[in-house]
Amino acid sequence: MKKFAETPYLPTEVNIEMISDNEAKIIAYPFESGFAITLAHPLKRLLLSSSVGFAPIAVKIDGATHEFDSLRGMLEDIAIFIINLKNIKFKINGDQEQVEVEYSFDGSKEIKGSDLTNSEVEVVSPDVHLATINADCNLTFSVIIQKGIGYVPSEDIREIIGTDYIPLDAFFTPVKKVVYTIEKMLVEDNPNYEKAIISVCTNGQITPTTAFQEAVSVMYEQMSVFNKVFNLSEVKIGTLSEEPVELKDLIIKIDELNLSARSFNSLDRAGLKFLGELVLMSEIEVKNIKNLGKKSYDEIYDKLESLGFPIEDSLSEDIASALRKKIEQHKV
């Protein structure tokens, strides 16, 4: 006798393939027919519109009063200089949403993105050309770097900066490309199930897995408006093991986990402050923490497992979204 389904089939598998530091494939399956594209398409739009990035929003150049000016000893006109500057991808070090960075260059030199990295900002496009100056040139300028999403035209920025600054069109989106494909797959003799493969490429300001994670979180947050009417927030949620999670148990500072100095320093330099931030990371993301050796990884793995949050397990997206909000509140 044919068994009739009462709910759509829930996908059970998700894999991450890191193509490079800035490109990854997220593969999820199996979906019932039509469900894969239902999720993949809005995620693509969210990745391209809601991912948080950084962009220069204004520049002040000594000796130049507007974007159509020129500067003695610099090969490029100011207009070309500005175009080159907008092509350079900055990343603010720390938790600040805006920084003003000052630069000064003398003598014959080709200035590239790598010359703009300092303690306040990192440039993730080091080979991008900015300007060429000769021995008689003194190029001194200040740039305002802002954190944001989407695109903001220079006309809107003009209202919030000083009159001595030239406003720039701000392209914050760190996601360069999103491509998804839907493949048919066989499940229990049924060939009509689907696999969603979402390829994400970023400019280096954030990792593709972080961008994807943020897009999923935004999707959940946008849908939460319906909680006001349908009480969806009361739906029972849990971890893979179906055990409830107390968020307060995850707002434990990492320096209270009694890790070795080497492991703690690696996490601290990566900007991780709470246990919950580690729990939210995938196994690949933990392994890719800068300067985290195998011995430190093994120590962190054992610690998380002893606390009931093995690295290979993951929280439900509802809990993960709530945890991110809780962590942000404690960081303020």
Confidence (pLDDT) at 231: 60
Average pLDDT value for residue range 212-240: 71
Dump pLDDT digits (tens) for 156-172: 999 898 889 999 999 99
Q: Could you tell me if residue 23 is left (phi over 0), alpha (psi between -120 and 50 degrees) or otherwise beta?
A: beta
Same domain, 188 and 78: no
Q: For residue 308, is it within any domain?
A: no
Same domain, 99 and 147: yes
Average pLDDT value for residue range 200-209: 95
Task: Decide which of 201, 230, 259 is a domain's last residue.
Answer: 230
Confidence (pLDDT) at 290: 83
Task: Decide which of 171, 201, 217 is a domain's last residue.
Answer: 171
Same domain, 63 and 92: yes
pLDDT-based confidence at residue 2 (cuts at 50, 70, 90): low
Total number of domains constituting the chain? 2
Query: Taking the complete model, does pTM exceed 0.85, yes or no?
Result: no
Question: Domain residues for 24?
Answer: 1-51+175-230
Domain CATH code at residue 208: 3.30.1360.10
Query: Which string of b and e fits 69-106 if b means at least 16 CB within 10 Å?
Result: eebebbebebeebbebbbebbbbbeeeeeebebeeebe
Q: For residue 298, is it within any domain?
A: no
Average pLDDT value for residue range 88-96: 92
Minimum mean pLDDT among 50-59, 94-103, 229-238: which range? 229-238
Task: Decide which of 154, 171, 188 is a domain's last residue.
Answer: 171
d(CA 38, CA 28): 13
Q: For residue 35, is it within any domain?
A: yes
Same domain, 59 and 167: yes
CA proximity to 279, closest of 252, 250, 243, 303: 250
Domain CATH code at residue 164: 2.170.120.12
Average pLDDT value for residue range 19-23: 94
Q: For residue 101, is it within any domain?
A: yes
Residue 236 predicted with pLDDT over 60: no
Minimum mean pLDDT among 1-10, 62-71, 229-238: which range? 229-238
Q: How far is CA 67 from CA 57, 136, 140, in A?
A: 14, 22, 15
Q: For residue 241, is it within any domain?
A: no
d(CA 28, CA 45): 18
d(CA 61, CA 66): 9
d(CA 148, CA 98): 9
Residues whose CB is less than 8 angstroms from the CB of residue 256 and which lie 6 or more positions away in sequence, other chains included = none
Q: How far is CA 107 from CA 113, 114, 115, 134, 265, in A?
A: 17, 17, 14, 6, 40
Same domain, 89 and 21: no
Highest mean pLDDT among 238-242, 244-248, 323-327: 323-327
Tokens of 117: 């990295």
Q: For residue 69, is it within any domain?
A: yes
Dump pLDDT digits (tens) for 269-278: 888 888 888 8
Residue 330 predicted with pLDDT over 90: no
Residue 101 identity (one-letter amino acid): V
Same domain, 61 and 197: no
Q: Are 59 and 168 in contact (CB under 8 A)?
A: yes
Same domain, 186 and 214: yes
Q: For residue 74, is it within any domain?
A: yes
Same domain, 163 and 188: no
Residue 244 predicted with pLDDT over 70: no
Same domain, 156 and 185: no
Same domain, 45 and 63: no
Same domain, 194 and 118: no
Same domain, 179 and 40: yes
Q: What is the mean pLDDT of the chain?
A: 87
Q: What is the DSSP letter of 95?
A: S
Q: For residue 78, is it within any domain?
A: yes
3-state SS, residue 315:
coil
Q: State percent of the chain over pLDDT 70.
A: 91
